[in-house]
Amino acid sequence: MASTLKTGNKTGNKTGDNSPSTLMGAGWRGRTRSHAAEVAAGAVWAGFGVRSHYGLLRAVMLAWPDDGLGFSGAPADWLMNERPDLERMRAEALGLAEAYQRCGAEVRWIRGPGTASLVAAPNSAPPNIIFACDLFFMTPEGAVLARMAAEQRAGEERIVAVALAEAGVPILATPRGNATFEGADAMWIRPDLVAVGVGRRTNEEGFRTVARVLADQGVDCVSVEIPATVQHLLGSVNLVDHDLAVAWGASPSMRALLARVGIKVLDFESTAEVVAGRALNFVTLAPRQILMPAGSPQTRRRLEDAGVEVHEQAVAQYLRAAGGIGCLTGVLARG
C-alpha cells in the first residue's frame, strides 16, 4: 500500500512519516531565505545589485564591439552620427575595461553570436548593442530588461538576457505588450526613489513595468519628462553624489524632483564639449569621483572646481556612434 501523504511538513520528516523526500519526507530541506537575501548572499545568484547612482562602483557590463559594426548603409540607418572604426573601438573597449578594473570594478562582457554563450542567435549582434546602459536597469534584487523603442535595436534584449544569466543576475521583468523601456531612462535618486524619464524611448507602459518591480522592493518610482533635445534621461542629468547633480537642459519635472529631495544642480550650457564631446555622459565611480570622455578640458575644470575628482578615458569611436561612457556602461553593482 502506498504511504499516506502528510501535508504541511516543511522542515523534513516527522516521526512515523514515510513520505519520500520529493513529498517533504526524509531528506527534504525547505527553502527559508527570501529572494533578496539569496541575492545579497551571492550564493544562489551573483551578489550584484544597485540602489544608488553614486555609490562605489563594484561591477559593470560592457558589450564587446561585434562584427555587426561593419554594417553597410548610412550610419543614420543605425542611429549613429558617423561610421566607427571597429578595430579602434575594440581598443577603446579594452582601455575602458582596464580603467574600471584599476578602480576596483569587476568587468563582465556582453558578447554576440559566434562567441561562447548559452544561446546562439542567428545573426551578428545589432551595432547599437555597444550601448549597454540602454539594455537593462539594475535593482537590489536583479535586473529589469529593456524593450528597445527602435526597430533597429530589436533583439539586443535577447543577447543581454543571455549575458545577465551567465553573470548570475536574475531578470525580474521583461516589458511586454506595447511597452518600451530603455535603461538609460531610469536613475536612482535615493535608495528609496527612482526617476524614470518618459518620452521617445520609454513610454508610460514601460514606466509602469519598472514601477511594479520597484514597488515590490519598497521603492517609489516617479515619471519625469524628457527634454526634446536628448535621447534619454541620462542625456540631461547625471548624479555625482547624494546632494549634487549636473544638468544641461533638464526638464522642469526633473528639476522639481531634485529640488524636493535636496539635490543641488550644477548647470552646464550646451557647448561643443557637452553636445558633441558628451563630456557629461560620464559614470560616477564613487561619491564625487567620475570617469568621463577625454577631450573636454573646460568641462573637466568646472567639475574639478566643484570638488569632483575626474578621470578621463578616450572613447572617440563611441562618440561617432552617438554615445558616451555613461551610454556604453551597464552598471551591475554599487557599494
pLDDT digits (tens, 9 = 90+) for 122-150: 456 789 999 999 999 999 999 999 999 99
324 phi and psi angles, rounded to 5 deg:
-120, -165
Q: How confident is the model at residue 14 (pLDDT cuts 50, 70, 90)?
A: low
The domain ranges of the chain are 41-226+314-334
Per the DSSP assignment, residues forming a β-bridge with 135 are none
At residue 48's C-alpha, the angle toward residues 47 and 52, to 5°, is 130
Residue with cell 558628451: 278
**Residue of 83, 56, 3 whose CA lies nearest to 316:** 83
Write out pLDDT tens, residues 186-205.
Answer: 999 999 999 999 999 999 99
pLDDT in tens, 92-130: 999 999 999 999 999 999 997 654 444 444 456 789 999
The CATH number of the structural domain formed by 41-226+314-334 is: 3.75.10.10
Q: Encode pLDDT of 30-69 as tens digits.
A: 999 999 999 999 989 999 999 999 999 999 999 999 888 8
pLDDT of residue 228: 86
pLDDT beyond 50 at 283? yes
What does each C-alpha distance from 143 to 56, 63, 234, 282, 310 come to in angstroms? 19, 16, 18, 21, 29
pLDDT of residue 124: 66
pLDDT greater than 60 at residue 308: yes
Is residue 251's pLDDT more than 90? yes
